[in-house]
């Protein structure tokens, strides 16, 4: 397949993770006969992200307006969806209908898989999971897996953890955490049953156990982190070509101590999203917490909490106290699900300030059977953000996607069909380019 002659790129969504993506692709336009259209409901936001760069144009778009959406997609050769994940199948179907290539950083959904025969029939290229996690995790892992297989080695164990956190310089609260991506996803993290395999045994971890079932993951110069299992690690055995592997676990990282404190909210029910609360106007955080504790004539909220959570320690107590749950602070909102009310509290306290710097940490842990014995490989990535706009999260989500689009438009990726970046033709040039931006893995191996 040759490079596309009329190269009009459409990015849908100018949100938090789009800064590096937009800059990278905007900078390729002038010298490559390309036009970049950035569409968002907030026209001023889109304009500010483009910074008036040549061959770029901002456009207002209500994504629910099918007529306007189709008209805009019709103008493009290639569409990048930076919208919420539930919107991807809608945009993908539009692209299929109009014969446009489609890129996203989000998980490949079942709805997209159902489109695979039509995508192939129309010789289109649809690439998903080309961001951070999923994305860089796939690419860096597959590089190690393919190298091992090429030597005739067998992968016995693979654990992979990733977290979007604060850089140490900005860890100014006991949780050592602020929102660097969708707050709702953070509040609802771990919902459902996590599943993985360890030493040949299938493991299923229900939601009320997820934040108890943690593993300590260490990074040089950064210290210890809590790693908890993601919802589904088992399906990745097929994706990575490791169907017979004995241990496979994908997880999320938080600073040590976070999971124990977050588990208090889970155990009490503050992360429940299944029913609506209507608290009296002017209710406090203490009253919100108390509504999940049993009635007692004389015990304080703090004492009842200690009874309800027997393994409560001081660092956990301190984290909950810091959020204001034992004082008279008013709730930001009094109606909604417990999860929504908790989110409204955290959005005030875990807000990223303009000067804050975030951090991405990722670590792959392999055990590989070689002819000389079992080799342990530790491959670690640490990336820091510049500020609250040019975050490490935006960098690691946006750059792999931008690079993949650039490579495709240059004709250096000549594939068609539905893909995730687990084949060398996709991941090798992307990983190579990412190193120019300081996104590189430090690999340690020992027999």
Q: How far apart are CA 125 and CA 415, in angstroms?
A: 7
pLDDT of residue 6: 65
Query: Mean pLDDT score of the chain, rounded to an integer?
Result: 94
Q: Is 180 in the same domain as 222?
A: yes
Over residues 276-288, mean pLDDT: 96
Q: Which two tokens stand for residue 155?
A: 């992968």
Q: Is 312 in the same domain as 281?
A: yes
Q: Is 218 in the same domain as 146?
A: yes
pLDDT of residue 15: 86
Q: Which residues have C-beta within 8 Å of that of residue 314, sequence separation ≥ 6?
A: none
pLDDT one-digit tens code per residue, 365-378 = 999 999 999 999 99
Over residues 75-85, mean pLDDT: 93
Q: Is 368 in the same domain as 249?
A: yes
Find out whether 196 and 229 touch, Cβ atoms under 8 Å: yes
Sign of the C-alpha dihedral computed for residues 258, 264, 265 and 269 taken in this order: positive
Find out whether 166 and 386 touch, Cβ atoms under 8 Å: no
Q: Which two tokens stand for residue 158?
A: 């693979």
**1 or 268, which is more confident:** 268
Q: Is 244 in the same domain as 361?
A: yes
User: Residue 71's domain spans which residues?
Assistant: 7-128
pLDDT of residue 5: 65
Q: Show the CA angle centred on residue 308, arms to residues 307 and 309, nearest 5°.
A: 95
Residue 3 pLDDT greater than 60, yes or no:
no
Q: How far apart are CA 6 and CA 34, in angstroms?
A: 7
| Closest C-alpha to 341, from 267, 300, 284, 258 | 284
CATH of the domain at 123: 3.40.50.720
Residue 443 lies in a domain: no
Over residues 162-184, mean pLDDT: 93
Q: Per-residue confidence at 388, pLDDT binned at 50, 70, 90?
A: confident
pLDDT of residue 133: 87
Residue 446 lies in a domain: no
Over residues 133-157, mean pLDDT: 95
Q: Which residues have C-beta within 8 Å of that of residue 369, sequence separation ≥ 6?
A: 153, 154, 155, 156, 375
Q: Which residues on adjacent β-strands are paired with residue 224?
A: 218
Q: Is 150 in the same domain as 245?
A: yes
Q: Is 252 in the same domain as 374?
A: yes
pLDDT one-digit tens code per residue, 56-77 = 999 999 989 999 999 999 999 9
Residue 262 lies in a domain: no
Find out whether 135 and 393 touch, Cβ atoms under 8 Å: no
Q: Per-residue confidence at 1, pLDDT binned at 50, 70, 90?
A: very low
Compute how many other C-beta atoms are within 10 angstroms of the C-beta atom of residue 22: 24
Q: What's the total number of domains in the chain?
A: 3
């Amino acid at each position: 397949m040759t490079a596309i002659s009329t190269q009009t790129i459409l990015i849908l969504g100018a949100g938090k993770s789009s800064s590096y993506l937009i800059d990278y692709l905007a900078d390729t336009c002038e010298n490559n006969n390309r036009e970049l259209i950035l569409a968002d409901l907030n026209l001023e936001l889109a304009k500010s992200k483009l910074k008036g760069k040549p061959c770029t144009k901002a456009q207002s778009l209500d994504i629910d307006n099918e007529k306007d959406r189709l008209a805009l997609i019709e103008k493009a050769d290639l569409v990048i969806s930076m919208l919420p994940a539930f919107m991807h199948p809608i945009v993908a179907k539009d692209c299929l209908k109009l014969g446009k290539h489609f890129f996203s950083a989000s998980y490949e959904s079942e709805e997209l898989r159902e489109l695979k025969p039509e995508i192939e029939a129309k010789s289109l290229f649809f690439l998903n999971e080309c961001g951070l996690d999923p994305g860089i995790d796939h690419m860096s892992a597959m590089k190690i897996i393919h190298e091992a297989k090429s030597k005739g080695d067998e992968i016995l164990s693979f654990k992979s953890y990733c977290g979007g956190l604060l850089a140490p310089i900005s860890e100014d609260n006991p949780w050592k955490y602020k929102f660097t991506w969708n707050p709702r996803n953070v509040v609802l993290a771990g919902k459902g049953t996590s599943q993985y395999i360890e030493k040949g045994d299938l493991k299923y971890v229900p939601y009320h156990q997820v934040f108890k079932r943690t593993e300590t993951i260490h990074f040089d110069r950064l210290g210890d982190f809590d790693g908890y299992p993601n919802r589904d690690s088992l399906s990745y055995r097929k994706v990575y070509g490791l169907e017979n592997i004995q241990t496979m676990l994908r997880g999320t990282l938080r600073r040590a101590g976070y999971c124990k404190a977050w588990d208090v909210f889970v155990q009490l029910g503050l992360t429940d999203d299944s029913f609506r609360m209507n608290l009296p106007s002017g209710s406090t955080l203490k009253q919100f917490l108390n509504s999940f504790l049993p009635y007692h004539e004389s015990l304080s909220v703090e004492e009842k909490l200690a009874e309800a959570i027997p393994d409560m320690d001081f660092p956990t107590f301190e984290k909950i106290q810091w959020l204001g749950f034992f004082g008279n602070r008013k709730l930001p909102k009094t109606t909604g699900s417990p999860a929504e009310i908790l989110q409204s509290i955290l959005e005030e306290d875990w807000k990223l300030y303009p000067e804050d710097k975030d951090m991405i940490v990722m670590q792959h842990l392999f055990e590989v059977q070689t002819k000389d014995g079992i080799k342990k490989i530790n491959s670690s990535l640490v990336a820091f953000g510049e500020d609250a706009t040019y975050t490490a999260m935006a960098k690691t989500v946006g750059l792999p996607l931008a690079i993949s689009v650039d490579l495709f438009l240059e004709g250096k990726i000549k594939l068609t069909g539905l893909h995730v970046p687990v084949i060398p033709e996709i991941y090798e040039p992307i990983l190579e380019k990412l190193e120019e931006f300081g996104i590189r893995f430090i690999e340690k191996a020992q027999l």
